[in-house]
Amino acid sequence: MIGIVDYGVGNLASVRNAFDRAGYEAELCSRQEELGQYERLVLPGVGSFRSAMELLEQGGWVHALKTYAATKKPMLGICLGMQLMFDYGEEHGGAAGLGLIPGTVVHLEPAAPNKVPHVGWNSLNHAMRHSLLEGVKPVVDFYFVHSYHCVPKNPEHILATCDFGGEFVAAVVAGNVAGMQFHPEKSQPAGIRILENFAEWEPQC
């Protein structure tokens, strides 16, 4: 069973429906003490880094998510959920993140004529061969909506990048923890393939 963390923000129904279309059972989890029952976990998110971290802290999710990650079970962050996995985000004055992936989240500064927020379809540049990208061609577009981007401390954690008036990190993987800046649940067949790959992923930790 795949758990989708329901902490008050995110495209929860869209993510669950996308897993349904992929043929995998997923359900929303609104109680942090129940995380351990899931074989895989998805952390979605929309909105600001600082506000989302405040919700996670208020709901007792921070310790629970760190504990889950330590079990070495597969964990996927989507959009803001990916950003929250990092050490620190500078949005709205800054806030500490979950610290699951070393690095920071900074404002996106594309070259003209590109504008922030970055909204629309863009293709990925694969930085490594990985089972999460199995069957995904670099020329295929994914749907992005964001104003901030992740800067991993370790380049080896970069799974894919995207060019939007300059290159930014579009996907990461560190052990059993992965993140996608784009929305696989909104990215049609290619996004469904990403979710299928996650549902079958066996991390080498």
Point out the residues that are catalytic.
Answer: 79, 183, 185
CA distance linking residue 128 with residue 124, whole number of Å = 11
CA distance linking residue 193 with residue 190, whole number of Å = 5
Phi-psi sector, 200: left (phi>0), alpha (psi -120 to 50), beta: alpha
